[in-house]
Structure formats: C-alpha cells, structure tokens
Amino acid sequence: MELFTDRSLDSDRIQILGTVNYSAPSNIALVKYWGKKGRQLPQNPSLSLTLSQSRTFTSLYFQGRSYLKELPNIEFEFFEEVSSSFSDKTMSFLKDLTSNELPYLKYFDLKIASRNNFPHSSGIASSASSMAALAMGLRELHLSLFPELKTYELYEGQIASYLSRLGSGSACRSIQGPFCQWGLEDSGTGNDTYAVKLTDIHEEFDDVRDSILIIDSKKKSVSSTTGHSLMNDHPYSLKRYNRARTHLTELKRGLASGDWDRFIEIVEAEALELHALMMCSQPSYILMSPNTLRAIELIREFRGRTKLRLCFTLDAGANVHLLYAGQDEKAVGEFIKAQLISLCEDGWVIHDTAGTGARAEVETLL
C-alpha cells in the first residue's frame, strides 16, 4: 500500500482541528550514516541505539480551512533552548513535504511549539529528536485524514520514520528503539526510506547505558551537511560504504548472539572511521580534541584491566559516548568519577539509557 501518493481529499475531510503532543529521544549511531544521495537517502545502511532521557517535546496544532495557500501557514513557538536555525530547517522541511508527500498542508494553519529537555549547548544534536517528534505529530494528522492507513502503519512505524528522515536523516532512527536499522542491507533486509526496529537482540543487550562525556559543548566547526557532501568525492567513499555494510551485518550478528567483544570491536572501529574520513576529506578537518583522545585511551586501558563490557563511540564532534552494560553501572560510575570527569567541560556528563523511541505526551506546550 502506498503511504502518501495518489490520495485526494474532499473539502469536508480537511475541516479538522486539533493539537497533538509528542516527544522523541536522540539516538547514537553504532554503524554510522556518512554520505547521502537523492532526497536524504543513505549511501550505506546504519544501525543505532535509541536513547531515552535526552528528548525533544513538540506540540502541533492544526486547523484545516477550505481555501488553499501556496504553503501551509506556520507559526513557531520555541523555548529558548532551541536554536534559531531550527526554525529555518523546520520551515524548509515542511515546504518540502507540502511539495511532495503531504500536499494537503496547503489547506492547514499550523502552530508548532518545541522544547528540548537537554541543554541546547550540551553538544548533543537535537535535530534527530526534534524532527522525529514533529514527524509524530504530522503522522497523526495524516492518519486522521486517511484512517485506512492505520492498521498497516502500526506494525512498522513507517510513516513517522519516513517523514522524519526528510527533516534530518538520522531522525528516522529515533521513532523506535532500542536498536534500529536504517538502510537496505545486501541480504535485502531494511529500507532506505525509513528505519526499522531490530527484534533479534540477545538479553545481554537488554540494558545498555550511554554516559555522554561533554568534552566540548561548542557548536561543531563543520556541519554534518557539509560532512555528508564531502563524501561525494572522497578518495575512500566506496571502500567506506562497503565497510559499513559489512559492519552492519556483523554487528547484527553480535547483537543477536550476545557477543560484547564483537560489539566493542565494531562500534569503536565505526567511531574512529567516521573521524578518519573527516581527517582525509578535501578540505580536511578534525572534530576530536586532545581530551577526546585521552578519554579513548583511558577507556581502553580500563577495559583491558577490568574486562568489563564497555566501549566508546563518537558522533560528529568531540564528545565521547561511553556505552556499557547496566549491570556494571557502579564500577563504570566510579571510573567516570575517578578518571574521565576531569576531561569534561565543567565536569559535565549526561547519563542516558537505551529507550523505546517516540511517545505521545499529555502535556501541551501550546
């Protein structure tokens, strides 16, 4: 069944009004999406861990009217934690949807209010959580207009994931959790247009924690958009896309069999490859800082000594995500306090856990 195309609406059906409230978490890629094509389609499949605490809360008010406008009529209300460039990004996202998947938005007045529960300056990217939360609201509007899609959509959460992808690629992995795959694997599993939740996960990975070491909270000097585009003429791009495919298949095997050693090996290789690609892009750039490297060194040393299940990953920035099994919380907490906290800006560490994705909220921001 097609989710978006060939759907006409008579004017009676458009006369709806409502406010919907959703929140969505951030996610951290374990196999990285780095390089894109077409309308925000990935060059390689990626796999992520959905977080639970670091979330964006979004309320969407919609009111249908009988007359058409060039674009939807949109009002934004952002709480101060949200950056101003987010409103530009959201506006172009909605314009794009109006020209493609959701043409009926031209008949709507929309109000969007949004708030992050993690500080804007923490260095945690809010684009995934915010686009995912907004897409959940748009999904509800879409399902109110086309209720026949409901049964179909329930199984996979495709509509929200598909829409959020067009706002920010990695956002499509924030709709569900704790582990999601976005992109088609060689075996034919997965989809480039939306993410799917992985179901074959061993109990060893039931309670994965992510303590985010805020090494540097400043906005990164080179954006992800620029980074993705530098992959187009990158000398290692084809090699990289193939490596990511292999890593994805192997990581899925490790997750299914409860193999932490495999998990650690692949997750750390992926983090370092992402940064190695940046270092040999044209122009080249470095987003790690000396304290990032020191943290990596200490994490590897600690693991060698204690044999605990823990490893690091990096996003496109200097901060270090320390991943570990919930059972080892006490020992890892002591390690963070004793050795890592001094490397963080103002001793700042955000403790998060694996989560299940977006959810409806009772409280409204409007």
The binding track of 36-75 with respect to ligand PMV, each residue x by CB under 6 A or -, is ----------x-----------------------------
**Interaction of residue 33 with ligand PMV, rule CB under 6 A:** yes
% helix, strand, coil for the chain, step of 5: 45, 25, 35
**Interaction of residue 168 with ligand PMV, rule CB under 6 A:** yes
The binding track of 114-153 with respect to ligand PMV, each residue x by CB under 6 A or -, is -------------x--------------------------
Nearer to ligand PMV, 72 or 169 (CB): 169
**DSSP states along 180-247:** EEES--TTS-S-SSSEEE-----GGGTTEEEEEE-S--SPPSS-HHHHHHHTTT-TTHHHHHHHHHHH
Burial of 353 (0-12, 13-18, 19+ CB in 10 A): middle
For 15, the 3-state DSSP assignment is coil
Q: Among 316, 318, 322, 350, which residue interacts with ligand PMV (rule: CB under 6 A)?
A: 316
**Interaction of residue 170 with ligand PMV, rule CB under 6 A:** yes
Interacting positions 220-239 with ligand PMV (CB under 6 A): 224
Q: How far is the CB of 82 from ligand PMV (least distance, A)?
A: 16
Interacting positions 274-303 with ligand PMV (CB under 6 A): 274
**Interaction of residue 315 with ligand PMV, rule CB under 6 A:** yes
Angle at 231 (CA atoms; ends 227, 234), nearest 5 degrees: 125
Please give the structure tokens belonging to residue 290.
Answer: 């000396």
Nearer to ligand PMV, 29 or 248 (CB): 29
Q: Which stretch binds ligand PMV (CB under 6 A): 86-94, 146-154, 166-174, 234-242?
A: 166-174
Residues in contact with ligand PMV, total (CB under 6 A)?
13
Terminal CA-CA length for the chain: 34
DSSP 331: H
Task: Assess contact for 32 and 42: CB atoms under 8 A.
Answer: no
Q: How far is the CB of 314 from ligand PMV (least distance, A)?
A: 9
**Interaction of residue 212 with ligand PMV, rule CB under 6 A:** no
Q: How far is the CB of 165 from ligand PMV (least distance, A)?
A: 9
Task: Assess contact for 303 and 331: CB atoms under 8 A.
Answer: no
Q: How far is the CB of 234 from ligand PMV (least distance, A)?
A: 14
DSSP 280: T
- CA dist 92 to 74, 99, 131, Å? 11, 11, 12
Q: Among 25, 32, 72, 358, which residue interacts with ligand PMV (rule: CB under 6 A)?
A: 32
Q: Which residues bind ligand PMV (CB under 6 A)?
A: 29, 32-34, 46, 127, 168-170, 224, 274, 315-316
